[in-house]
Amino acid sequence: MLRFLKVILWNLPRIYMIPGMAYRAKHTERYGEEARYAYARLAIKRMMRAGRISTKRYGVENLPQEGGYLLCPNHQGKYDALGIMISHDKPCSVVIDDARSHGILVKQFIDLVQGKRLKKGDARQSMKIIRELAEDIKTGARFIIFPEGGYFHNHNTVGTFKPGCFKSAVKAKAPIVPVALIDSYRVFEEWSLKKMETQVHFLKAIPYEEYCGMTTAEIADLVRGQIVRRIDETLCPT
């Protein structure tokens, strides 16, 4: 929380970026995907500088070079999607809980990157978002979705993955990229202003041909298992 307050105060002179995000989100004919993503990453970089945050990325070579795909990370806190985006050079977006997406700055940011708002508990709306996500991925979009369905202050441990989060990848017949986040929770949970380093590990993409015969529950276990192994290998090397 202390770091969050510092980020807000330090960036008050840059508050113009909030209406700047809204304007760019509204005028997509003038600001294409690359330009809007660059503006989003500029906002992230300024936040990182104010908060003394750095993020190391690993496995960029594992990202598919062509086409759309689904990025599936473990979930630790508010910094997770930002850490992935600052590490992911090509434009990508995020699926977010609708209830968390309407606050000032968050709303403008999600609109800027054309994120998907998922209403938990609304099965019809959830299926609509899954269909939209699949169609977008088919046309080359890249989306972050958090299969744990939220973050529960579980630090570097990984909760159960919800099978439904993988339906869009199955429908799109698209690659799934497991993403292991390490120490991301520390950014806004620790009461400290010390320099903070997080890690983003892009694991080897799982092509459709590799998981097409599996149930979504089996896919969830496969992706979660790979993330857990990478976290264990990084934090407890043998």
134-155 pLDDT tens trace: 999 999 999 999 999 988 888 9
| pLDDT average, residue stretch 161-177 | 97
pLDDT at 191: 83
pLDDT at 89: 97
Q: Is the pLDDT of residue 7 over 90?
A: no
CA dihedral 217, 219, 220, 221 (to 10 degrees): 90
Name the more confident of 93 and 192: 93
Nearest Cα to Cα of residue 111 among 40, 181, 161, 184: 40
pLDDT at 11: 86
- Contact, 141 vs 68, CB < 8 A? yes
- d(CA 94, CA 9) in angstroms, rounded, equals 26
| pLDDT average, residue stretch 229-235 | 97
Average pLDDT over the chain, rounded to an integer: 95
| pLDDT average, residue stretch 16-33 | 97
- d(CA 59, CA 63) in angstroms, rounded, equals 8
Low-confidence winner among 58-72, 80-94, 148-162, 209-223 (lowest mean pLDDT): 148-162
pLDDT at 189: 87
Q: Which domain holds residue 231?
A: 2-235
- d(CA 201, CA 179) in angstroms, rounded, equals 6
pLDDT at 132: 97
- Per the DSSP assignment, residues forming a β-bridge with 201 are 58, 180
pLDDT at 127: 93
201 confidence band (pLDDT: 50, 70, 90): very high
Q: Is the pLDDT of residue 88 over 90?
A: yes
Could you count the other beta carbons within 10 Å of the beta carbon of residue 92? Answer: 23
- Contact, 228 vs 116, CB < 8 A? no
Q: Is the pLDDT of residue 1 over 70?
A: no
The count of structural domains within the chain is: 1
- d(CA 203, CA 200) in angstroms, rounded, equals 10
CATH number of 224's domain: 3.40.1130.10
The single-letter code of the amino acid at 222 is L
Residue 198 φ then ψ, to 5°: -115, 170
| pLDDT average, residue stretch 106-118 | 97
Could you count the other beta carbons within 10 Å of the beta carbon of residue 192? Answer: 11
